[in-house]
Amino acid sequence: VVSRTEALTLLVALRGMIPGSRSKYYTKEVENRLREILNKDPDTFTMDDIRELEDIAEIMEKEYTVSGRKELLDYAAKLRIGALVFKIVFVEPKMRKLEEWPLSP
């Protein structure tokens, strides 16, 4: 189980480690969008934000295969873990309140 405090610590760490863009796929626009999402109030995260974080991780992995920038591969792994944690801690509790959520009683 991951606590809210641990999730917030991970968010702050990810904000501080964002790799610089200077590549074919991981562009300045992608970097800026990553910063924008990670700088949001985590209580406002949506499934779209989570999917976008996962997409950015995929872009970083693709860039690694072309450029060999290992820092992108390392960050992408951390970003995927972060996306999962943020989904569990910040998004799923809101979704559970919806009648459509499959885990609702």
Give the mean pLDDT of the chain.
93
Distance CA 81, CA 78 (A): 5
pLDDT over threshold 70, residue 11? yes
- Identify the pLDDT of residue 103: 55
Spacing of C-alpha 48 from chain mean position: 11
Spacing of C-alpha 77 from chain mean position: 10
Distance CA 54, CA 56 (A): 5
Q: What is the pLDDT of residues 28-59, one digit of tens each?
A: 999 999 999 999 999 999 999 999 999 999 99
Which tokens belong to 7?
């999730």
Task: Give this prediction's pTM.
Answer: 0.90
pLDDT over threshold 70, residue 86? yes
